[in-house]
Amino acid sequence: MVMMRKKINFSCYAALAVIAKLLLITNLLSAQSVIEPVIAGDFADPSIIRANNQYYAVGTSSEWAPHYPIYTSKDLLNWKQTGYVFEKAPAWTSGSFWAPEYDYHDKTYFIYYTARRKKNNVSCIGVATSKYPDRGFIDQGIIIDYGKEAIDAFVYLDGNTRYITFKAYGLDKRPIEILAFKLSKNGLKVEGEPFSLLKDDQKIGLEGQSILKKEGYYYLFYSAGNCCGAQCDYNVRVARSKSFAGPYELYAANPLLMENEYWKCSGHGTFVKAADGKDYYLYHAYNKKTNVFSGRQGMLAQMNWPAKNAWPVLKEQSGPSLNRDLKLNFTSPQIDKNWQWDFRNSTPGILQKNGQLHLSGIINKDNLSGIALTVRPISTTFEAITTVTNTNNALKGLVYYGDAGSAIGIGIAGNEIEFWKVENKTRTVLAKVKIPTTVPVEFKMKTADDLSLLVFFRKPNEEWQNVPVKEKITVNFLPQWDRSPRIGLHFNGSVSQDADFSTFELKY
């Protein structure tokens, strides 16, 4: 009987151990099923190239400067921002810096990009060149000026001939088309007349194209639907042809990438052949939880071909789950690559010296929000903290910034804490608190899942004090159509004044 009792107990423990192991495996598989971005935060319309045994990616910057952020990676999963294409906007441009596209030949890197032309606000395609993939780009001016709009360049080498493709007729009362020009040998001008590759006869949208050739077929991948904003329905589709010029047959089982449990509005990507010989697609999508507040983030999919002459399959890949909290110090004279600003509405002056960041600059006359020196968020929920170290009558502190007409912040001017917002181009002071004029003073902004915002201040090493308001404050008014709001440092004063900061931290 004793022997039997021991056997029964052992069997129970063994069964419990098996159950525990199965639960652990289930939990691990469940955790692994979450798809993480490879480039977190707003990084739309990415283009990718492999060079020098690593990968380079460049993406849309829209109305933020510097223009077109560049990232590098050795494995396609872990990326680091290293610079921008343009520190200063090319002379012919006014804004809307969209859809950059890499190309390389004759020991030269090319980036074909979309921007609005200053003289008439029409979107054209320009080109910049460099001997390096991540720095030193020099603008070469407009290469495609076509009708009311030319956007989304993609370059394809067919034999010895290069073609540049683009989206046309998006602002006309006619079907959108993907058109192509032959490129000159130096890549700096187009030749002949454009010809049509694919027409949007179904009127579902057609843009963000990328082309691969496989077993005698040209595969034209494109994005359909509404690209941007909370109501987007973007997805990735494909068509193929035996000739580069078409006609292209649409895949009956489109789309290849669409909404899933975690992500929506997948689209506008390009391919790279990896070191393992496989093709990967870098594209963008909105996180369904954080949506427009974290923008269109950089995603990765692997290209698979099920059988000969079969249509392709794109399998989503997950990036690593990383702690993406940000803590910046100002000990170096070099400005951190994370910082961007709204170049249309202010010209900031930034200086780092002796562990301080000094922020000042020129604020446009109709800009009610002031200068915002910001970083790209990856979530709707965060805590942002900074320390202001100087006293003057300019407003200095933290800001959550959509654009000059949509912003909210907390700061100090003189000896008064001010909680303010600009909404519908109207500035409102939400609360004021007088304090002793001694500095430094710390500020904190804290958001919640319901998009509510709380703001705090304190003297260093003291308890945080909440700035009381009469009603719940939300930030749902901040996002713009094509870009997420940004978080950062704030200055609103005359050019002879400045704001001095000793810390900036962003925690999720």
User: Tens-digit pLDDT profile for the chain (508 aa)?
Assistant: 333 333 334 344 444 443 443 333 334 334 447 899 999 999 999 999 999 999 999 999 999 999 999 999 999 999 999 999 999 999 999 999 999 999 999 999 999 999 999 999 999 999 999 999 999 999 999 999 999 999 999 999 999 999 999 999 999 999 999 999 999 999 999 999 999 999 999 999 999 999 999 999 999 999 999 999 999 999 999 999 999 999 999 999 999 999 999 999 999 999 999 999 999 999 999 999 999 999 999 999 999 999 999 999 999 999 999 999 999 999 999 999 999 999 999 999 999 999 999 999 999 999 999 999 999 999 999 999 999 999 999 999 999 999 999 999 999 999 999 999 999 999 999 999 999 878 999 999 999 999 999 999 999 889 999 999 999 999 999 999 999 999 999 999 999 999 999 999 999 9
* DSSP 8-state secondary structure symbol assigned to residue 426: E
Q: Are strands 383-388 and 217-224 parallel, antiparallel or unpaired?
A: unpaired
Which value, to the nearest 10 degrees, does the dihedral of the CA atoms of residues 148, 154, 155, 156 take? -120
Q: Which long-range contacts (CB under 8 A, 24 or more apart) does 461-466 make?
A: 465/433
SS3 506: strand
Token representation of residue 444? 């904190």
State how far the Cα of 223 lies from the Cα of 211, in Å rounded to an integer: 12
Question: Could you tell me which of 427, 410, 408 has the C-alpha nearest to residue 477?
Answer: 408
What was the pLDDT predicted at 21? 37
State how far the Cα of 19 lies from the Cα of 24, in Å rounded to an integer: 9
What was the pLDDT predicted at 437? 79
What pTM does this model have?
A: 0.92
Angle 471-472-473 from CA coordinates, rounded to 5°? 110
Question: Could you tell me which of 441, 443, 445, 426 has the C-alpha nearest to residue 485?
Answer: 445
Please report which residue ranges of 51-186 form alpha helices under DSSP H: none
State how far the Cα of 18 lies from the Cα of 469, in Å rounded to an integer: 55
State how far the Cα of 43 lies from the Cα of 448, in Å rounded to an integer: 23
Q: Which CATH class is domain 47-317?
A: mainly beta
Q: Determine the topology of domain 326-507 in CATH.
A: Jelly Rolls (2.60.120)
SS3 28: helix
What was the pLDDT predicted at 27? 40
User: How far, rounded to the nearest angstrom, does the alpha carbon of residue 16 sit from its chain's CA centroid?
Assistant: 47
SS3 453: strand
State how far the Cα of 18 lies from the Cα of 231, in Å rounded to an integer: 46
Strands (E), 74-204: 79-86, 93-105, 108-117, 123-130, 138-144, 150-158, 161-168, 177-183, 190-199
Candidates 45, 149, 342, 500; catalytic one: 45
Share of the chain residues as helix, strand and coil, in percent rounded to the nearest 5 = 5, 50, 40
Q: Which residue has the tokens 């088309």?
A: 177
What was the pLDDT predicted at 1? 34
Q: Is 45 among the residues known to form the active site?
A: yes
Candidates 101, 103, 134, 207; catalytic one: 207
Instruction: Show me where the domains of the chain are located.
Output: 47-317, 326-507
What was the pLDDT predicted at 424? 95
Written in H, E and C, the secondary structure of 120-154 is CCCEEEEEEEECCCCCCCEEEEEEECCCCEEEEEE
